[in-house]
Structure 1
């Protein structure tokens, strides 16, 4: 398609002025080389319900066994100890899910309950009180620990449950088109160990998609730090900064990359923390059962291993880590569509790419040539940013404060509805569309949000088409 054809198409969409079609020679709307290969050489070409569950296209022969063993342990349920299935017993004593896939269904994204009667299946609530733990992280709530556990094995009391309530708030775009946003609140019910602390801090978290995590782990630390601008020295209103979190392997603080607030430094640490916090499975990184002091029945419950051994041994933890490292990123769709290209330009003009950095290159990840030296398109800087009071949870997490969140990668967001049968976004699933997700942005993203509100309906549609292609 020639520049003239593109300009004619954009003029019909009402986008020509925004994209400079008045000076046709300056128009260069075409995909960048390799832009469709979101995960570089790992990219897979699948748009179906299992698009997030495929191994890297370039997976090495020596990693195939680990990938498929890890897949099994990611997807199958753990059972109560003691059991004949000794490799999978030790569930709980309290827990949020029986398997990793219980939250990350089809390796995808979780959501809040859709009704008051539905249990919280792929979402959890972090808990803490003001202060820090021994490693500088959040200080657990005295009776319930660092997250509410709604389930328990026989003979142990479940901690409680939560009902999500929603309040609508109306708004409108500059062209007069109306929209409505919904704000969540959380009602705690059936608390087994008394009321929560009066100064409790609560942070809701839906399970994020699992794709491309090994590629994010392979981005050099220097690259991430090079994107940081904590004092906004360039004056663009964006001041992303790194979060440094406790690394139980290194025994010191390290650069956080994973989690909604970048509070995990690596995938092995992230996986061990999820087994421990969400399923109640101990490992060498989390060897003690997750039982806050008042929960005597929890502490007395049988474990799934000998007293001196963790329930998840290091070999199985390694297999699960191989699996999570090598889950592939699906390819971009419609990268050469004129409206998608127009939306890409608007994404840049609004400044969305200052946090959602489109393109980076990985470095060397020891033992994983598939992930090393890849040009990828994750649309993240892995830094934490002030997102304003509307999205604030008020709960610090290591060096990330109560208004800061890690920039989530955008790759795969156009397939959430296909993979997980919903299109709910943000850390708590409050946004029912990509447009609503943008409208909730504040803080460092306030200028970009306000510019989005000023766009015409056709321009908004183009931007959303671009996001849907990721």
Structure 2
């Protein structure tokens, strides 16, 4: 079938950086009103600063920027990349032998991760709402204190095959919240309210907890997975022992392969420990397809029509399909930064550090040794995340625990590629539920551990705020 997501990249020589970056530049960090972290170091604006993932990085600012193979991928592995891409882009509903369902959210992975990015263009979204709604109810004795909603399960499925009613439709409305910076500049935020309509199997449980989620980009996952666990844990500070107000902590989640507790590092709440497990979970809950890791249908006891259609006696996805799809996601490259030596970008990077954003959005990881994919070994990872959980305050809380993550905690979202969202996905929606229409709105929603950083951002002069946003656009 045609590969519609993006083309593979050609391995680029190091001198190709010359078209993107110039000589190193230094910048004296401007002052910020109010108390804050210690003075930040001079930002790195050397040629290497453009390399989000070291030699795996690719250089593309077109709508295909997120869909390339690792920049250093050996040509012998390209057929595996293409095979995995075909599975990622496959529309399972078009194959009667492996039709998505009986209940699902999409017909294929690419339906939500448009061009390997965050979501489909706004013109194709229909009612503006997240693709997924996670659901649960309080359960004192269950892991994490919650269990799936008894009628609808752990995720709302808005699609059903013939004869199986869809579970419901997500609707969202927004309330505009007006605000003003200390310098008098006005801003507006959107506070979303979500509800489920057209319920196919009766009312939700009285205490049902709903958590909306928009898709996340899938590039660079192989690098995030290859960061040594000890490097991530070294940044954890659950008790805020250093008194800086930041107390990131890891999420420990079940590893289905190992049968042990593992470090969660993928997903909005770091709820999955590996790409393979993330892929298997998405096949199960998003597409309704079983695998050896998730062999049970998601139909609940209350969904008779769904259970009658769920007659498969063995997992529908072979281990090979799971392996090839997971391998594809390991091999997608992060895009290079742009304009790293532009004065506004350099100034914005200094401010990003000085106001405190870099306390959580960390850019200094390096991968370990990856035996089966040496291209991923010993590479810098400038994803701007610590992969830890942070309390983001009541305004961003979904109230729904996930593993050891509380209802107010979220994994620090990687920032690489944000400046290319408009080019690739033709829309910019940020935060877990897509409420933020741009960089400033996303910052202004930060609370909890990030409240002091938000307040320092608000006290910046307008030109300084614009410079910080210019830096974010360069990622």
- How high is the TM-score relative to the length of structure 2? 0.90
Secondary structure at the residue paired with 1:370? helix
State the distance in 2 between where 1:420 and 1:113 align.
8
The one of 210, 218, 222 equivalent to 1:210 is 218
State the distance in 1 between where 2:30 and 2:234 align.
35
Check if 1:344 corresponds to 2:349.
Answer: yes
Residue 2 of structure 1 and its aligned partner are, at CA, apart by 10
**Residue of structure 2 equivalent to 1:408:** 413
Residue 362 of structure 1 and its aligned partner are, at CA, apart by 0.5
Report 1:4-83 matches (<5 A): 31-32=45-46, 34-79=48-93, 83=96
**Residue of structure 1 equivalent to 2:36:** none
**Residue of structure 2 equivalent to 1:246:** 254
Q: Is the 8 A contact 1:113 1:164 kept in 2?
A: no
Residue 359 of structure 1 and its aligned partner are, at CA, apart by 1.6
State the distance in 2 between where 1:330 and 1:132 align.
44
State the distance in 2 between where 1:313 and 1:129 align.
32
Compare 98-107 and 28-37 and name the one that shifted more: 28-37
Secondary structure at the residue paired with 2:374? coil
State the distance in 2 between where 1:241 and 1:288 align.
32
Report 1:383-398 matches (<5 A): 383-398=388-403
Residue 337 of structure 1 and its aligned partner are, at CA, apart by 0.8
Residue 112 of structure 1 and its aligned partner are, at CA, apart by 10
Residue 134 of structure 1 and its aligned partner are, at CA, apart by 5.8
Deviations 1:263-317 (A, max 9, x none): 00000000000000000010000111110110011011155xx62x311111111
**Residue of structure 2 equivalent to 1:232:** 240
Deviations 1:23-64 (A, max 9, x none): xxx995661451110011110000010100111011134432
The one of 107, 113, 118 equivalent to 2:127 is 118
State the distance in 2 between where 1:264 and 1:115 align.
29
State the distance in 1 between where 2:125 and 2:387 align.
34
State the distance in 2 between where 1:401 and 1:210 align.
24
State the distance in 2 between where 1:115 and 1:355 align.
33
Report 1:71-470 matches (<5 A): 71-79=85-93, 83=96, 86=97, 89-110=98-119, 118=127, 120=129, 123-131=131-139, 136=144, 138-302=146-310, 307=313, 309-470=314-475
Q: Is the 8 A contact 2:253 2:404 kept in 1?
A: yes
Secondary structure at the residue paired with 2:246? coil
State the distance in 2 between where 1:175 and 1:357 align.
29
Residue 252 of structure 1 and its aligned partner are, at CA, apart by 2.0
State the distance in 2 between where 1:71 and 1:138 align.
35
State the distance in 2 between where 1:393 and 1:40 align.
35
Deviations 1:394-425 (A, max 9, x none): 00011000000000110000000100011111
Residue 6 of structure 1 and its aligned partner are, at CA, apart by 7.7
Q: Is the 8 A contact 1:112 1:428 kept in 2?
A: no
**Residue of structure 2 equivalent to 1:22:** none
State the distance in 2 between where 1:58 and 1:115 align.
34
Secondary structure at the residue paired with 1:204? strand
Q: Is the 8 A contact 1:90 1:311 kept in 2?
A: no
Q: Is the 8 A contact 1:158 1:192 kept in 2?
A: yes
* Distance of aligned partners of 1:331 and 1:117 in 2 relative to their CA distance in 1, 3 Å threshold: closer
Residue ranges of structure 1 left out of the alignment (5+ in a row): 20-25
State the distance in 2 between where 1:297 and 1:214 align.
39
* Distance of aligned partners of 1:415 and 1:80 in 2 relative to their CA distance in 1, 3 Å threshold: closer
State the distance in 2 between where 1:53 and 1:371 align.
17
Residue 115 of structure 1 and its aligned partner are, at CA, apart by 11
Secondary structure at the residue paired with 1:148? coil
Deviations 1:56-95 (A, max 9, x none): 01113443222111101111200277x2xx4xx1311000
State the distance in 1 between where 2:411 and 2:145 align.
16
* Distance of aligned partners of 1:257 and 1:161 in 2 relative to their CA distance in 1, 3 Å threshold: same
State the distance in 2 between where 1:118 and 1:30 align.
42
Alpha carbon RMSD of aligned pairs, Å?
Answer: 2.4
Residue ranges of structure 2 left out of the alignment (5+ in a row): 1-21, 34-39
Q: Is the 8 A contact 1:116 1:164 kept in 2?
A: no
User: How many aligned residue pairs are there?
Assistant: 448
Q: Is the 8 A contact 1:6 1:338 kept in 2?
A: no
- How high is the TM-score relative to the length of structure 1? 0.90
